[in-house]
Amino acid sequence: MTLNRVFACVVSAGLLISSSLTFAQSSFKLPDLGTSALQALPLEKEKAIGEVMMMQIRSGSPLLQDPVLNEYLTSLGNRLVANANDVRFPFTFFWINNPAINAFAFYGGHVGVHSGLIAQSDNESQFASVLGHEIAHVTQRHLARRLQQAQDNSALTIAGMITGILATVIAPDAGMAIIAANSTQAALSQLTHSRKAEQEADRIGMQTLHNAGFDTTQSAEFLSKLAAQMRFKNKPPAFLLTHPLPDSRVSDVRLRAQQYASVNLPESPKFQLAKSRVLARNHYTSEEAQAYFERQLKRSSKLDDSALEYGLALSLLDQKKYQLSGNLIAKLLKKEPDNLFYLDAYTDILIGQKKAADAVKMLHKKHEFRPNNQVITLNYANAAIEAKQYDKAEQLLKIFLLDKPEHTLAIELLSSVYKKQDNKSAYHEIKASLLAQYGAYIQAADEVQRALNHVEKQETVKESRLKALLSQYRQMQKELAKL
């Protein structure tokens, strides 16, 4: 199975888990936010709220579990965070498979990006300008400050507002409708950033953008693009439902950008490759993508069309035209033998051609030089599974998960290994850890109980460990309920 297929399986599993979480999530209680607590929202409580919301997003949203795109987004996001002020905790960046132009940030440094944002961005500075803006909302604690200001609301109303914020950042038009139907206009206004908050995020986000070496003028260019869409569409872009765009905002941002020295940046190859990947895999059918990239290649006057050729190769790969796709990727790899985008695609091509052992050999060498890279490690493990080298795949994934214990795709791959090895105890235990990612601790405890049923009598240490894990999951459910 190619990693592209594994991505789809993980997304489907998440959505299926979402439908089965009624009992587990019915006991979710957000942190106690009674009026006395609103005088100050401690960072630890803010992080706890963020974790609860992230669990709900994992269980009910089409997250893109794509190591190549995740690597790019995390690298870009961390570059901006490293150049931001008032950073209080590590940030987490994640993709949502949604064609809408949108990004959002919430408690605890979580920043979600819709795939439509990069598809509609003309360059990396435009894309980064939105990320910088969202990072500023977190560092300035705009959501937390709004909760602190709502001292006349009851704890129940505030908890409802948090739920509304979650709905709104994922699907703004639906979220607004939910709140409008169930709350007051005052509560509805809490879900959109105030003009003051937007101005602050624009100002601080632009400083971060400049510090990170991007072109600040692209902030205004991107807002102008959104403003143009407002003029020609009945429904504004999703981003503008939670980030108001008064007439003065574009001109304010444009004037602010002029305070910084202009920069003439070369095109970012990684941005173009990531955009091509999103267009090929998430915004067009494979046939439509092939036609699109062939058309763009005919029109192009660039000296380097690598990103377009890569997108065409992906569209051919997804149609199982392995020879044609392989020819394109082999040419690209010859120029950049360590490019992660190309290595990922070539691995899938080899697996599709029933040459998984060749992929293992190729990735073994790459892994020696970059042992902690998620793209290389997960492709290597997946190729090993396809080559029936299960012990190698198990070792790779267990070491990888020591560093990234919550990596959903790695957990899913390891569960596949255990299933093929017929290791039922380990299979149910790793499934429990996957369920825990969605906050489904009751179901996770059930999986640990199934794991215990397959422990041999002489495996006393393993039995003790699983019993401790069972107790831990049950306790986590209780803790989550009183968080």
Give the distance between the most distant pair of CA atoms in the chain: 73
Residues 177 and 316 in one domain: no
Instruction: Determine whether the annotation assigns residue 137 to a binding site.
Output: yes
**In a domain? residue 207:** yes
CA of 100: how far to CAs of 119, 120, 240, 392, in Å? 9, 9, 11, 40
Sign of the CA dihedral with 407 first, then 408, 410, and 415 last:
positive
Tokens read off for 386: 């396809």
Q: List per-block mean pLDDT (blocks of 10 residues) for the chain, which spans 483 residues.
A: 59 41 34 41 75 77 90 97 90 92 86 93 95 90 66 48 55 40 39 67 91 93 80 63 66 85 90 98 96 95 92 98 98 97 98 97 96 95 98 97 91 96 96 88 93 92 93 83 61
Query: Within 13 A of 216's CA, how many CA atoms are on the CB side?
Result: 22
Q: What pLDDT is stored for residue 379 in this prediction? A: 98
Helix/strand/coil for 113: strand
Among candidate residues 353, 383, 400, the one where a domain is terminated: 353
Query: Containing domain of residue 336, as a range?
Result: 269-353
Same domain for 343 and 212: no
Looking at the structure, do residues 76 and 110 belong to the same domain, yes or no? yes
202 found inside a domain: yes
CA separation for the pair 280, 313 (Å, rounded): 9
Rounded Cα–Cα distance for residues 142 and 198 (Å) = 9
- 180 shares its domain with 235: yes
Token look-up 């919550």 returns 406
Please indicate, yes or no, whether residues 202 and 279 belong to a single structural domain of this protein: no
Point out the domain boundary residue: 207, 225, 257: 257
Of 24, 4, 22, 60, whose CA–CA distance to 445 is shortest?
A: 24
- Sequence-ordered strand ranges (E) for 43-102: 92-96
Q: Is residue 202 annotated as a catalytic residue, yes or no?
A: yes
DSSP string for residues in 202-260:
HHHHHHHHHHTT--THHHHHHHHHHHHHHHH-SS--HHHHHS---HHHHHHHHHHHTTS
Q: How far apart are CA 256 and CA 481, in angstroms?
A: 46
The Cα–Cα gap between 192 and 174 comes to: 14
Cβ atoms of 307 and 275 closer than 8 Å? yes
Beta bridge partners of 92: 110
pTM: 0.84
Per annotation, catalytic residue among 202, 221, 386, 412: 202
The structural domain count of the chain equals: 2
Domain-terminating residue out of 307, 324, 353: 353
Q: Is residue 307 part of a domain?
A: yes
What are the C-alpha distances in Å from 282 to residues 9, 293, 349? Answer: 15, 14, 19
d(CA 167, CA 171): 6
Name the catalytic one among 134, 221, 344, 394. 134
**Are residues 85 and 214 located together in one domain of the fold?**
yes
42 in the same domain as 165: yes
Domain-located, residue 467: no
Q: Does 72 map to a domain?
A: yes
Q: Do 198 and 137 meet the contact criterion of CB atoms below 8 Å apart? A: no
φ, ψ at 111 (rounded to 5°):
-125, 115
213 and 82, same domain (yes or no):
yes
Q: Which class for 479: exposed (0-12), middle (13-18), buried (19 or more C-beta within 10 A)?
A: exposed
Report whether 428 belongs to an annotated binding site. Answer: no
143 within a domain of the structure (yes/no)? yes
CA pair distance 77, 82, nearest whole angstrom: 9
Angle, in degrees to the nearest 10, between helices 306-318 and 322-335: 150
Strands across the sheet with 110-114, in order? Answer: 92-96, 110-114, 103-106
Q: Are residues 106 and 82 in the same domain?
A: yes
For residue 281, is it within any domain? yes
Same domain for 214 and 312, yes or no, is no
437 inside domain:
no
Nearest to 435 by CA among 3, 2, 23: 23
Q: What is the DSSP letter of 373?
A: -
The reply to whether 304 belongs to the active site is no
Residue 147 sits in the same domain as residue 213: yes
Q: Would the annotation count 456 as a binding residue?
A: no
Same domain, 47 and 132: yes
